Amino acid sequence: MVGLTTLDAHRGGRVPGIATSWTTSADGLTWTFKLRDALWSDGTPITADDFVFSWRRILDPKTAANYAYFLYVIRMPSPLMLEDAAFGPWRARARCSLRLRSRSNIPRPIC
């Protein structure tokens, strides 16, 4: 499995994975990822909606995901919000099939 980005084993740092590129807003809070054309093993296209779905699933308390805290930097994934099945004003959106935007609580590097 490949994420939006992956680690460069030789030089360190982040390199494109499913994302071909990404931009950060001037305030460092909004990240927009442009996705490459990629397919699941069954031939179905991988879309930005797949990332939103998986991020919401990992944050759902019913899944008891050990690494849900990795996504706590995305605006609004507080414990109270996580109890809301609709995820309220959670700030990760599929802008189109190959564009994903997320908003952080504080400026952060991609790491």
pTM of the model: 0.76
Four-CA torsion 13, 14, 15, 17, nearest 10 degrees: 140
What are the residue ranges spanned by the domains of the chain? 5-103
**∠ at Cα 73 (72, 75), nearest 5°?**
95
Predicted confidence at residue 85, as pLDDT, reads 46
- How much of the chain exceeds pLDDT 90, in percent? 18
The domain 5-103 is placed in CATH, from the list 3.90.76.10, 3.90.1310.10, 3.20.10.10, 2.40.50.100, at: 3.90.76.10
Name the average pLDDT for the chain. 78
Is it the case that residue 94 has pLDDT exceeding 70?
Answer: no
- How much of the chain exceeds pLDDT 70, in percent? 74
